[in-house]
């Protein structure tokens, strides 16, 4: 999990200047419909592994059968190498026609004129009826649509029913952050210190974000300004220090010893706050002795608040430099909306965002659980926050590192807040 974040940190900062230079090429204003007689070749790039590549090959074959005048050449890399390649291509103005896209890069590439405006295609070439409006809005930057979400996930809490049964503690029944801290303490005490109730939630910026959203705020405004001050961040981290001091959560030292396995994946903690699409990874880490997971809503900050939101697991975007915008939009629609895409990909890219694709997908028990979870939190789902600022990955990683240092006791809350705001000032000044 953290290797991806480190990749974003290094690449986002390094690519800023190159993308700004490339951005002067600008984007075109697409119009018209697909000419069925024009022979077109499109380049498609995605990140993944051999399993996902085989799925894309199958989807491309189905697409080319439906659109015999369009040939699609695909390529894939792992996540860090994918963005390194895009950096080089962006500088040269030759990005692939269609790209699997990560939310963290959407603002950076769109604001530098590297992505195509998709609005002229919405509702005609790209079907919008199967995609809820709040999910369509995820791909909007500055009032313009630059990406279509293939799939969604939401912040939640995974629990380990097998561990809870062994220690004799019921599932977390919901409640406030104080209630959650008390429940974690109960689990830890009941296990005799062999198992902990969870890990330090104050080390994840997403937990801070949902608290801010519950209070009517945000991490960052639409204008890219921070939506919190030093005092509010200090309060959040001080709460975390109290939970650490209580002994309810696994220690930073123990987590260091088992890295890169997580405390939850090592069956040392009974809960973990994270994105709901991490479940398959946890089951893989836990192994056959732990056949199922619990998935419940995070603690409540303000009763009735819409603090949660749907985030894209990934999107599809089109390069502004494409010579075939109509054909590229047709491919995006197929990869997102077609029943064939649902049948082929299932939940490999996350829970399908399109109802058409979702209906065609063969969901395994965990995927059904995630679907039901996202349905269960509808009352807590608000509008997605503004697309992440350029350099967000850097700040997310710094937040994690500072949370780890707070867990080790090698930095004070005051110094951690100062360091985070210093880093944030650097990132924001680079964006101005």
DSSP notation for 121-160: GBTTTB--TTS-HHHHGGGEETTEE--EEEEEEEEEEEE-
* Alpha carbon distance 55, 57 (integer Å): 5
Contact in structure between 41 and 316 (CB atoms under 8 Å): no
SS3 296: strand
Residue 34: its pLDDT value, please? Answer: 83
Other CB atoms within 10 Å distance of the CB of residue 174: 14
* Alpha carbon distance 207, 156 (integer Å): 10
* Alpha carbon distance 284, 52 (integer Å): 17
Q: Which residues contact 409 (CB under 8 A, 6 or more apart)?
A: none
Residue 222: its pLDDT value, please? Answer: 87
Other CB atoms within 10 Å distance of the CB of residue 305: 17
The number of angstroms, rounded, from the C-alpha of 55 to the middle of its chain's C-alpha atoms is: 21
Q: Which residues contact 88 (CB under 8 A, 6 or more apart)?
A: none
State how beta strands 98-101 and 40-47 pair: parallel
Peptide bond just before 260 cis, omega within 30 deg? yes
**250-265 pLDDT, tens per residue?**
999 999 999 989 999 9
Residue 1: its pLDDT value, please? Answer: 31
- 3-state SS, 46-92, equals EECCHHHHHHHHHHHHHHHHHCCCEEEEEEEECHHHHHHHHHHHHHH
Low-confidence stretches of the chain (pLDDT beneath 50): 1-31
Rg over alpha carbons for the chain, rounded to the nearest Å, is 22
Longest pairwise C-alpha distance within the chain = 72
Other CB atoms within 10 Å distance of the CB of residue 189: 14
Residues 133/139/141/143 CA torsion (nearest 10 deg): -30
Residue 32: its pLDDT value, please? Answer: 63
pTM of the predicted protein model: 0.85
State how beta strands 148-159 and 294-296 pair: antiparallel
């Amino acid at each position: 999990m953290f290797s991806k974040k480190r990749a974003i940190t290094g690449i986002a900062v390094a690519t800023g200047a190159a993308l700004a230079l490339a951005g002067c090429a600008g984007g075109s204003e697409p119009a018209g419909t697909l000419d069925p007689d024009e022979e077109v070749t499109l380049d498609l790039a995605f990140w993944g592994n051999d399993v996902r590549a085989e799925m894309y090959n199958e989807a491309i074959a189905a697409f080319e059968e439906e659109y015999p005048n369009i040939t699609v050449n695909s390529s894939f890399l792992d996540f860090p190498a994918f963005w390194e390649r895009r950096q080089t291509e962006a500088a040269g103005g030759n990005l692939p026609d269609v790209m699997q896209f990560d939310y963290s890069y959407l603002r950076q590439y769109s604001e530098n004129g590297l992505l195509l405006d998709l609005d002229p295609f919405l509702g005609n070439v790209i079907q919008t009826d199967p995609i809820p409006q709040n999910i369509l809005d995820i791909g909007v930057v500055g009032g313009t649509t630059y990406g279509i979400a293939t799939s969604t996930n939401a912040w939640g809490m995974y629990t380990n029913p097998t561990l809870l049964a062994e220690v004799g503690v019921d599932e977390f029944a919901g409640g406030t952050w104080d209630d959650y801290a008390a429940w974690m303490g109960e689990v830890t005490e009941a296990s005799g210190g062999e198992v902990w109730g969870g890990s330090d939630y104050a080390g994840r910026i997403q937990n801070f974000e949902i608290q801010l959203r519950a209070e009517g705020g945000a991490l960052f405004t639409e204008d890219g300004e921070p939506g919190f001050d030093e005092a509010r961040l200090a309060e959040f981290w001080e709460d975390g220090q109290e939970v650490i001091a209580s002994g309810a959560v696994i220690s930073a030292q123990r987590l260091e010893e088992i890295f890169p396995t997580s405390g939850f994946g090592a069956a040392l903690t009974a809960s973990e706050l994270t994105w709901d699409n991490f479940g398959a990874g946890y089951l893989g880490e836990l192994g056959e002795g732990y056949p199922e997971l619990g998935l419940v809503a995070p603690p409540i900050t303000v009763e009735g608040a819409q603090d949660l939101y749907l985030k894209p697991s990934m999107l599809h975007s089109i390069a502004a430099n494409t010579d075939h915008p109509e054909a590229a939009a047709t491919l995006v629609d197929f990869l997102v909306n077609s029943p064939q895409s649902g049948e082929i990909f299932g939940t490999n890219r996350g829970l399908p965002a399109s109802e058409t694709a979702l209906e065609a997908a063969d969901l395994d028990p965990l995927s059904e659980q995630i679907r039901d979870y996202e349905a269960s939190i509808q009352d807590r789902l608000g509008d997605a926050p503004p697309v992440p600022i350029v350099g967000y990955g850097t700040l997310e990683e710094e937040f994690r590192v500072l949370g780890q240092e707070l867990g080790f006791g090698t930095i004070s809350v005051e110094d951690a807040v100062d360091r985070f705001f210093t880093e944030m000032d650097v990132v924001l000044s680079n964006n101005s």
